[in-house]
C-alpha cells in the first residue's frame, strides 16, 4: 500500500525544516499528495526544490475572491502574490486547485473569481463558508446568508425538534415538485426537465429569503441559447456525438 502525506495549514512553508521533512517523508518511502499554501512562499525556488526531489504534489492555494482577498487575509498585495504563485505553478507543470472562504462581502465575486481560476488553469475550485472562529469571531454579521438566521439554534432547540419540522428540514427535504408548486410558470418551460430548478445556492444568493426561488442564471443558460452554443462547440471539438 502506498502512503502519502499532505502538508496543510497553518502555512507549512514557513517551517524552517520544511525541506528536511520532505526528505524524511521520501526516505520512508512515502509521497506527498498535496501542499496547502497561501502562495506567498511558493517561489521559483520552492518549485525547483520539488522538481529536484521528483515530487509532484497537488498545490492548493487559498483565494478569497477578486477584490476581496487582501481584506480577507489582512495583507496588502496578498491577491497579487497568490495569482503570481498560481501562474508560476502552472509554468512548472504542477496541478493546483483553490479554496475560497465565503462571506457576505465576497459572495458577489464568485462568478468572476471562478472565471479567473479557470483562465489560470485551476483544476478545481472549492467554496466553504467562514466560521465564527479566531479573527472571524469579531465579524459575526459578515458570516453566512440571511436565510441561515432563520435556522434553529442547536444550543436552544432539541435536535429531535430540529429534525422533525421547520425551515431547515424543509430545505433538506427540498423536492422538484415543491419547486414547481412554488413557481407554476416553470411547469410550462420547455427546459424544465433539464433545469429542474437550477442551483439553490445561486437562487438564495439572489433572493436570500426564498430557497424555492428561481435560479435566474439557469434561465439565462437555457433560454438564452447558451446550452445549444456549448453543445455546438463540443461537437466541433469532438467531445460529444450527434446522437447525444
Model confidence at 1: pLDDT above 90:
no
Question: Would you place residue 180 in the very low, low, confident or very high pLDDT band (cuts 50, 70, 90)?
Answer: very high
Question: Is 203 part of any domain?
Answer: no
Query: DSSP 3-state assignment of 125?
Result: strand
Q: Residue 56: give its domain's CATH number.
A: 3.20.20.70
Interacting residues of 149 by C-beta distance below 8 A, sequence separation 6+? none
Please determine, for residue 55, whether its predicted confidence score (pLDDT) is greater than 60. Answer: yes
Q: 14 — phi, psi (to 5°)?
A: -80, -10
Q: What gap in Å lies between CA 28 and CA 2, rounded to an integer? A: 11
pLDDT for the residue numbered 208 = 79
Q: The pTM is what?
A: 0.63
Contacts with 188 (C-beta within 8 Å, 6 or more apart), sequence order: none
Q: Which region, left, alpha or beta, applies to residue 59 given φ > 0 means left and ψ of -120 to 50 means alpha?
A: beta
* Domain assignment present for 222: no
Determine the length of the chain.
244
Q: Is residue 172 part of a domain?
A: no
| Least confident range of 6-10, 89-93, 148-152, 238-242 | 238-242
In whole angstroms, give the CA distance from residue 226 to residue 232.
10
25-50: average pLDDT: 95
User: Is position 23 within any domain?
Assistant: yes
Distance, in Å, from the CA atom of 191 to the CA atom of 222, rounded to the nearest integer, reads: 7
Residue 58, in any domain of the structure: yes
Beta bridge partners, 5, equal 32
35 domain-assigned? yes
Predicted local confidence at residue 244, as pLDDT = 44
Please indicate, yes or no, if residue 89 is contained in any of the structural domains.
Answer: yes
Q: Is residue 165 part of a domain?
A: no
Cis peptide before 159 (omega within 30 of 0): no
Say if residue 201's pLDDT is above 80: no
Across 35-56, average pLDDT: 96
User: Which residue did the predictor score with more confidence, 96 or 166?
Assistant: 96
Q: Which domain holds residue 74?
A: 1-141
Number of domains, the chain: 1
Amino acid at each position: 500500500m502506498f502512503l502519502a502525506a499532505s502538508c496543510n495549514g497553518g502555512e507549512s512553508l514557513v517551517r524552517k525544516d520544511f525541506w528536511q521533512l520532505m526528505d524524511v517523508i521520501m526516505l520512508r518511502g512515502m509521497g506527498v499528495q498535496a501542499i496547502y499554501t497561501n502562495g506567498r512562499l511558493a517561489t521559483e525556488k520552492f518549485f525547483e526544490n520539488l522538481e529536484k526531489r521528483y515530487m509532484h504534489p497537488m498545490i492548493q492555494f487559498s483565494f478569497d475572491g477578486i477584490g476581496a482577498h487582501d481584506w480577507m487575509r489582512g495583507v496588502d498585495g496578498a491577491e497579487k502574490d497568490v495569482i503570481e504563485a498560481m501562474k508560476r505553478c502552472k509554468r512548472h507543470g504542477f496541478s493546483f486547485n483553490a479554496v475560497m472562504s465565503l462571506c457576505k462581502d465576497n459572495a458577489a465575486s464568485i462568478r468572476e473569481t471562478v472565471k479567473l481560476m479557470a483562465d489560470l488553469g485551476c483544476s478545481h475550485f472549492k467554496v466553504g463558508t467562514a466560521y465564527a472562529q479566531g479573527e472571524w469571531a469579531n465579524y459575526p454579521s459578515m458570516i453566512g446568508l440571511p436565510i441561515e438566521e432563520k435556522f434553529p439554534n442547536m444550543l436552544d432547540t432539541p435536535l429531535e425538534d430540529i429534525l422533525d419540522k421547520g425551515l431547515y428540514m424543509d430545505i433538506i427535504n427540498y423536492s422538484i415538485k415543491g419547486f414547481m408548486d412554488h413557481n407554476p410558470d416553470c411547469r410550462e418551460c420547455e427546459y424544465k426537465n433539464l433545469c429542474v430548478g437550477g442551483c439553490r445556492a445561486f437562487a438564495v444568493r439572489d433572493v436570500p429569503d426564498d430557497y424555492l426561488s428561481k435560479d435566474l442564471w439557469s434561465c439565462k443558460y437555457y433560454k438564452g441559447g447558451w446550452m445549444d452554443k456549448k453543445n455546438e462547440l463540443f461537437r466541433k471539438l469532438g467531445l460529444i456525438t450527434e446522437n447525444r
